[in-house]
Amino acid sequence: MASTLSGKLVVAISSRALFDFEEENRLFETGDEAKYMHYQLEHVQQPPGPGVAFALVKKLLAFNTSEAQRVEVVMLSRNDPASGLRVFASAQAAGMRIERGVFTRGRDPFGYLRPLGAHLFLSANAADVQQALSMGYPAARVLTESRPAGAHYPLEVRIAFDGDAVLFSDEAELVYQQGGLPAFVQHETELATTPLAGGPFKPLLAALHHLQQQAQASQTMRIRTALVTARSAPAHERAVRTLLDWGITVDEAMFLGGLEKGPFLREFEPDFFFDDQRSHVLSAARHVPVGHVGALQPAARQEKG
């Protein structure tokens, strides 16, 4: 019988998101493929430091036991197959059981998300992330300059999400862009009991909810989620009611009404935070590991805070 990833939380991740390969990436970008491959092979047994998503991946893999494999992490990389030897060796040295990988030698890798059925794609390549999002997969560009996750809560995965255009659709965000804050508040107040459509990260939140339910019996690893949004009362109501309609709850909700998100995230101490807006991403990156849901370009639209 063929193996299957059905029923598992599937995370596809690039080598730069998992490990600190920034020096190697600078060599890769020179275009000297032979020199890059030689360097990687020469350093196969020298593991790099942890990358921005290292703590998240290590904790998610801890949900796997000898009785049940609930999480699958797959390397999805523009590296060549020979350089992939170092990636797998580094994962093994870090105590991570990562057995599957796709290495494309510079070719776009995001198409392989479909056969993987990935619930999350993390990459340092903005173009790959944008393409994955356009295909309907939860994807984020890892900011390699983000502050690493702390060593707190070893038995708890902590993930924080922005609301509009991340967990929820961009419907309300578009109203804000077109009519400003008064139009946004009026729109959300009038539709307070009408659930928002799902955004790109709804499938990940649902998969995490399912994983939490699966693992409840073991009481070993836990998941704690937070909604961290620029919404404030009365626009908070529609967000809360939407999650209730989905049958998915978050553990914490922060309705910040335009306050800077970074200091609040510092207190929550997530293993990862996902947001679509430039100012929030840059603020958060000073405190916690961050993934930008989209390409990190200069702001071309106003942000509601």
Domains of the chain: 9-141 (3.40.50), 156-292 (3.40.50.1000)
pLDDT at 302: 47
pLDDT at 300: 41
Strand order in the sheet with 272-275: 100-103, 71-77, 9-13, 120-123, 139-142, 290-292, 272-275, 156-161, 222-229, 252-255
Q: Do 230 and 253 contact (CB within 8 A), yes or no?
A: no
pLDDT at 299: 42
pLDDT at 68: 87
Q: How many residues does the chain have?
A: 305
Q: Which two tokens stand for residue 40?
A: 């990687």
Q: What is the pLDDT of residues 1-54, one digit of tens each?
A: 468 898 899 999 999 999 999 888 888 888 888 888 888 899 999 999 999 999
* H or E element in which residue 254 lies: strand 252-255
Residues of the chain with pLDDT under 50: 1, 296-305
Q: What is the pLDDT of residues 255-277, one digit of tens each?
A: 999 899 999 999 999 999 999 99
Identify the sign of the CA torsion 78, 83, 84, 88.
Answer: negative
Residue burial 212-246, b: 16+ Cβ < 10 Å; e: rest: bebbeeeeebbbbbbbbbbbeeebbbbbbbbbeeb
pLDDT at 3: 83
Catalytic residue IDs: 162
pLDDT at 219: 66
